[in-house]
Amino acid sequence: MPKMTDRERLADLEARQRKMVEEVEKTRRALRGKYAAIVPELAVETLTEREFRDLLVAVIRVGGDAAIAALKPLPDSTDIPKPPAKRVPATSMA
C-alpha cells in the first residue's frame, strides 16, 4: 500500500472527524430522548414551563449529585400538589 501524502492524510483525518461528530450528536439525541421519555411519568404540570426549565438548567449546571444533596433535606410531600392557579394579568380599572 503506497504511503499517503500529507494532503491525503489530512483529508482522511477530517473525514473521520466529521464521522465522529455525527456519532456524538446521534448518541446525544438518543440519550436526551431516553430522558424525555421519563417526563410523562412525572407530575410536571404542577410547575410552570419556566419553573421546569429553570429547575433543569440549575440541576445540569451544578450537577446531579449536588442537586440531590441540596434537595434531600427538604420534607417529602404527602399530598400530590395541586396545579397552580391560572395566572391572569391584572386589568386596570382606570
pLDDT tens by residue, 24-61:
999 999 999 999 999 999 999 989 999 999 999 999 99
**Helix-strand-coil percent breakdown of the chain, rounded to 5?**
65, 0, 35
Q: Would you say residue 63 lies in a domain?
A: yes
pLDDT at 94 over 60: no
Domain-located, residue 85: no
**Verdict on whether the full-model pTM lies above 0.75:** no
Q: How does pLDDT run across 20-34, given as a tens digit for each residue?
A: 999 999 999 999 999
The domain total for the chain is: 2
- My answer on whether 31 and 56 are in the same domain is no
Q: Is 88 inside a domain boundary?
A: no
33 and 49 part of one domain:
no
The answer to whether the CB of 44 falls within 8 A of the CB of 52 is yes
Residue 50 domain-assigned (yes or no):
yes
- For residue 71, give the 3-state DSSP assignment: helix
Would the CA dihedral through 21, 25, 30, 31 be positive or negative? positive
Residues 31 and 51 occupy one common structural domain:
no
Tell me the residue range of the domain where 56 lies. Answer: 43-71
Same domain assignment for residues 2 and 33: yes
- Can you tell me the distance from the alpha carbon of 27 to that of 6, in angstroms, rounded to the nearest whole number? 31
